[in-house]
Amino acid sequence: MKIRYILLLSTLVFSLQAQQNLKPLLQKIPANQGSPHQMEALRLGQLPTTAIPPGTRPLSQLSYDFAGRPQMILPPAAGQTLQALLDPESGQPLYIKGKAAIPLLNLPGRSSIEIQAYTYLEAAKSLLHCQDPLTEFTLIAVGKDDKGNHHIRLQQQYQGIPIYGAMLSLHTRNGEVAMLTGRSYPTPTLRNLDPSLSEEIAIEQGWAFLQTRTTVKNLTEWEQHLLPGAAASARLVVFFPKKTTQPPHLAWELSLAPNLAERWSLLIDAQNGEVLQAMDEICKIQGHHHYEPGISTTATPARKQSTSLPPPPDGPATAVANDLFGQPRTIDTYEKSGLFYLIDAAKSMHNSAQSSFPNDPVGVIWTINAQNTSPQNNNFSAVHITSNNNGWNNPTAVSAHYNAGIAYKYYENTHSRSSINGQGGNIVSLINVADENGGNMDNAFWNGAAMFYGNGGQAFNAPLAKALDVTGHELTHGVIQSTANLEYFGESGAINESMADVFATMIDRNDWKIGEDIVNTAFYPTGALRDLSNPHNGGSSLNTPGWQPDHVSEQYLGGEDNAGVHINSGIPNKAFQLFATAVGKDKAEKVYYSALANYLGRSSQFIDLRIAVIAAAQDLYSATEANAAATAFNAVGIGAGQGGNYQQDYTANPGEEFILYTDENYNVLNIVTPDGQDIATPLSTIGPLSKPSISDDGNVIVYVANDQTLRYIVINWEQNNFSSGSLSSNPIWRNAAISKDGNRLAALTDDYDNFLYIFDLTEASPQPVAYELYNPTFAQGIETGDVQYPDVLEWDHSGQWVMYDALNRIENNFGGIEYWDISFIRVWNNNTQNFSDGLVSKLFSSLPENTSVGNPSFAKNSPYIIAFDRINTFTNEYHIMATNLETGDVGSIFDQGILGYPNYSVQDDQIIFDAFDNSGNRVIGVADLANDKINSVGSAVILISDNAGARWGGWFANGFRPWVGTTEAISEDGLKVYPNPFADQIQVDMVVESAQTVMLEVFDMNGRMLHRSQESWSAGNNHAVLDLPGLPAGAYLLRVRLGQEVRTARLVH
């Protein structure tokens, strides 16, 4: 064998081509053509021990062994130059200014801007009441404004769990961090971070809560495309109740879309199920004023398109057509196969290479007809709007299409923003949307993915698509969603609404009014829905339609309208109007966009808006503009004195490190050390059909052999021997994976179906339990059978979930879509020590166009880090990437022309993968990783080069470390441990067959040994007392070693 380190993999030549829309398989066996296989029990009999083939280093040498708000300025402390404005309610800073007077932290692997950020937090930690900024704040994003200033966003967390609404932003001036803004909380003291309610139970309770308040419907596949993401999602958070002295709660944050017209955010106590907060986050242009349909209950008929001569060749086209004002508008359309569509593919964001017209365009403005159906009802249906001759006798469609284009151009030309989401995403408008009763919808809304326009009923005398400011308002909610993501509740929600109004009046900038072109003056006598120059809008109180407060003294403090989001937006609206009048609209819109993109966060309050606007004005312009902003906010009563770890790692396996791999033609299995020494070459001459799976202690290897039998290899590292044999000699298998604790097995057959088989290897004759794989949908109790078949399998660290990739196919009106994605299925319950419910969760809720992901693999020590192959099925490009499940960050490791099958090193500081050398030989490459474990540093090199080729590398060690999933054997097999939970002492009773020396060891969940004692036990009953004083609350593992026999028990303190 030859090991080479000098050739950079970035210079390799690649030749393997991908199959369009598929993850190519390196080896594909024929599918079973007969009846589905009948499962049988596994035979676990041991084969005779076989000596390991000699290598350069014998195994015998190897070692063995996760609100007023008065002004409060904190003067700088001695030796530092930081100055803070504190919130008198919480004592937390609203902002901190000045420079950190401490040396830069030594943070190897971090960028200079990260080091500056964490150094600033370290200097400010006493002001923030934060114990350890490095672990309590995680970097989310780094932005840069037109002046070159950096803006760094960080999410606060507690022991890896995000703190709801706690986000800070750091801002540089002249290359140094000079300001901190945002909202954070003192380091919590929650003791119990284990939720009593599971995620699925919390979601079920959320759906039950909504069923008493709104329409919950089953969404079709087409409707799901009109959602911004999963319609049912949950994450565990620490939630500090607003404006109360209650302690923080461990809570489930739920996002539920009961229909296309609503998206609810719920916070449910994770221990007792109490609903702590609930709000509908969808903005409707007509906010807190509600009118029952009465004037018009008959939906406006959809207009038919005219026909004429054959059109010109396929591609973008332009047309002139009258809008709802009767004005001729030039609009961009698209011609395909003799038919014109209201699809604008002429903008710079359009991706023609990835587009498939007319049903799957990328980077377009797209207008669709909802055919007078309601997104809240089961008959909802949307179709293309077409013309045979590029003539458009549909003013409503023309207005919607034209106005969307104007909004797009505004953000592109004024703020250099590529579409609403900033990434060239489609802008979709639906017209002729009915209300839930089938009548004309008296509203318009943005649901996070598309615009829905009603045709007006009582409050509006025209289709809402007529009004450019309505379009601007609703589409700006998409911009807000992609930047500050302001919570749609209370003052944060009022800022959200205000920002939408602000940019609506910048897009339709001839006045300060909203909706003046469509309102019915019988309901809004001033002729406007809202007026930024006069929030009272001709009214005298909240009982008057269109009235809003224009000063904090009039602020609505009740609970209606999500605590006044549409009502109180009048206050910051007036502040903007005063500011823009003072400095001009051109400057004002730039300042507000910077405040939104760089300063505001999820929980920002009115005072935070003031701070953000003043800071952005100073960044972009001068003290003159900053003072004008301060004056404007003073005028509305928002004054200067107002205030308002799931990432837990295991200790690395302490054993000796090895790499298992196969040759290019899958003929043998070899074991070598990472530095190139042969250990067992070959270990087996029975080659693999699937990539072998290895238990965490390196003792057990399981794989499907080339003859499709299910094989095992058990290595005794201390005695320098191994045994091998068949778990199943039935030639039906396709892939298999053993859990990290070696107690369970997952397997697939050559039926190529959507079933996964799980075996409990602790049973004498393990019987298979079949789990049907599915794609979860966004409605309660509904799932789809779109999974064609899974491929790669790997168990998570707890031994409860199996991660897999799978080929999926979705059938729709526009043709089928195939793609690979990554999911998790819960198959085991550690608490009950039994099979679980088969709940499926996705790694990514959605994938970009023409993208598949597969071949996932967990980091060895960080259960929230996953590496995978990303495949661009349009360009046939392959990328090895990795993601942090807790932060949502995705990093890049290596780009090449084949699937990499990445695998982390024992220390998680490197990653190995399949590659080619310059001569086209199969090799195993290695890349060094940054501290975040999801990005590479330096250049990748060849690690293993074998004359017979090398692929499917698996890096492992042969030491022992306890797992969360280790069997809780409190009283079985003669071992009894009590009390459990324990205080400062445990008692151990055990029956042994003969006199022997016994080792008793206690570990924490990071693998650290906390206790070790040796006992001399006699045959029969034995008793030991272990003193364990001063341990923190948590889970622990007792290991009892009797010679080669090991028994374990999970303990709770």
Q: Decide if pLDDT at 295 tops 70.
A: no
Higher pLDDT, 447 or 286: 447
Domain layout of the chain by residue ranges: 9-62+650-957, 73-183, 483-644, 971-1052
Residue 7's pLDDT band (boundaries 50, 70, 90)?
A: very low
Catalytic residue among 289, 384, 415, 566: 566
* Whole-number pLDDT of residue 967: 32
Alpha-carbon distance 454 to 376, whole Å? 13
pLDDT band, very low/low/confident/very high, at 893 (cuts 50, 70, 90): very high
Choice among 694-698, 844-848, 872-876 with the minimum mean pLDDT: 844-848
- Within 337-424, strands assigned E span 339-341, 343-344, 365-373, 383-384, 386-387
**Do the Cβ atoms of 754 and 806 come closer than 8 Å?**
yes
Query: Using an 8 Å Cβ cutoff, are 399 and 464 in contact?
Result: no
Q: Which two tokens stand for residue 153?
A: 């966003």
CB 331 within 8 A of CB 392: yes
Condensed to tens digits (0 to 9), the pLDDT of residues 995-1048 reads 888 888 887 655 567 788 888 888 888 889 998 887 776 667 788 887 657 777
Amino acid 1028: pLDDT: 86
Which pLDDT value is given to residue 197? 94
**Residue 16 pLDDT greater than 60, yes or no:** no
Q: Does residue 402 register a pLDDT over 70?
A: yes
Strand (E) or helix (H) holding 608 = helix 606-620
User: Can you name the CATH fold of 971-1052?
Assistant: Immunoglobulin-like (2.60.40)
pLDDT band at residue 246, thresholds of 50, 70 and 90?
Answer: confident
Residues 710/79, Cβ–Cβ less than 8 Å: no
**Which residues face 657 on adjacent strands?**
957
- Rounded Cα distance between 160 and 1035, Å, is 17
Q: Predicted confidence band at 298 (pLDDT cuts at 50, 70, 90)?
A: very low
State how far the Cα of 394 lies from the Cα of 340, in Å rounded to an integer: 14
Give the pLDDT confidence score for residue 414 in this predicted structure. Answer: 96
Mean pLDDT of the chain: 83
Query: Which residues sit opposite 878 in a β-bridge?
Result: 871, 896
pLDDT in tens, 711-762: 999 998 888 888 899 999 999 999 999 999 889 999 999 999 999 999 998 8
Specify the pLDDT at position 43.
Answer: 53
pLDDT at 845: 56
Q: How far apart are CA 157 and CA 817, in angstroms?
A: 38
Helical packing angle, 490-507 and 570-583, nearest 10°: 40
If pLDDT is split at 50, 70 and 90, which confidence band does 2 have? very low
What average pLDDT does the segment 25-54 reach? 49
Q: How does pLDDT run across 46-90, given as a tens digit for each residue?
A: 322 333 333 222 222 222 122 232 233 333 333 346 777 767 567
Question: The dihedral of CA 6, 8, 14, 19: what is its sign?
Answer: positive
Supply the pLDDT for residue 786.
Answer: 80
- For residue 700, which of 641, 742, 755 has the smallest C-alpha distance? 742
The 10s digit of each residue's pLDDT in 968-1000 is 333 445 688 888 777 788 888 888 888 888 888
**Residue 57, pLDDT score:** 23
* pLDDT (average), residues 207-232: 84
**Per-residue pLDDT at 299 exceeds 50:** no
Residue with tokens 């809560």: 209
Residues 48, 51, 54: CA angle, nearest 5 degrees: 160
Say what the pLDDT of residue 1020 is.
Answer: 85
> Tell me, what's the pLDDT at 54?
30
Lowest mean pLDDT among 35-44, 245-254, 559-568, 592-601: 35-44
- φ/ψ of 590, rounded to 5, equals -65, -45
At residue 35, the pLDDT reads: 66
| Alpha helix (H) residue ranges in 301-427 | 395-415
Reduced to 3 states (helix: H, G, I; strand: E, B; else coil), residue 124 is coil
Give yes or no for a contact between 46 and 584, defined as CB atoms under 8 angstroms apart.
no
- Fold exhibited by the domain 483-644: Neutral Protease; domain 2 (1.10.390)
Known catalytic residue at 566: yes
Q: What percent of the chain has pLDDT over 70?
A: 83
360 bridge partner residues = 356
- E strands along 827-974, which residues? 828-829, 834-835, 840-842, 851-858, 865-872, 877-884, 890-896, 903-904, 910-916, 922-929, 936-945, 951-957, 971-972
Model confidence at 211: pLDDT above 80 = yes
The whole-number pLDDT of residue 1033 equals 67
Which of 253, 474, 491, 656 is an active site residue? 474
The answer to whether domain 73-183 has CATH 3.30.70 is no
Above 90 in pLDDT, residue 804? yes
First to last CA, the chain: 51
pTM above 0.85, yes or no: no
731 neighbors 708 (Cβ within 8 angstroms): yes
What are 117-173's pLDDT values in tens digits?
999 999 998 889 899 999 999 999 998 888 889 999 999 999 999 999 999 999 998
pLDDT at position 991 is: 84
Q: Is the pLDDT of residue 857 over 90?
A: yes
Residue written as token pair 């509904």: 782
491 is catalytic: no
Q: Does residue 646 surpass a pLDDT of 60?
A: no
- Residue 821 host element (H or E): strand 817-826
Higher local confidence (pLDDT), 546 or 22: 546
User: Letter for the amino acid at 79?
Assistant: G
Span of 14-18, 73-77, 115-119, 553-557 with lowest mean pLDDT: 14-18
**Nearest by Cα to 804 from 861, 851, 733, 857:** 857
pLDDT digits (tens, 9 = 90+) for 434-456: 988 888 999 898 887 888 999 99
* Mean pLDDT value across residues 327-353: 94
Question: How far is it, in rounded angstroms, from Cα 748 to Cα 758?
Answer: 9
Bridge-based pairing state of the strands 890-896 and 877-884: antiparallel
Contact in structure between 127 and 96 (CB atoms under 8 Å): yes
pLDDT band at residue 590, thresholds of 50, 70 and 90? very high
Identical fold between 73-183 and 971-1052? no
Q: Are strands 386-387 and 450-453 parallel, antiparallel or unpaired?
A: unpaired
Between 340 and 286, whose confidence is greater? 340
Which residues, other chains included, contact 888 with Cβ-Cβ below 8 Å and sequence gap of 6+? none
Question: Which string of b and e fits 536-569 if b means at least 16 CB within 10 Å?
Answer: bbebeebeebbbbbbebebbbeeeebbbbbbbbb
Please, which contacts does 523-527 make with residues 24 or more away whose CB atoms are closer than 8 Å?
523/289, 523/291, 523/458, 523/459, 524/459
What pLDDT does residue 48 have? 29
Q: Hey, which residues does 877 pair with through a beta bridge? A: 872
pLDDT given at position 816 = 62
pLDDT value, residue 76: 39
CATH number for the domain running over 9-62+650-957:
2.120.10.30
Question: What is residue 873's predicted lDDT score, i.e. its pLDDT?
Answer: 81
Cβ neighbors of 919 (< 8 A, separation 6 or more) are none
How much is the pLDDT for 752? Answer: 92
> According to the model, what pLDDT value does residue 259 have?
87
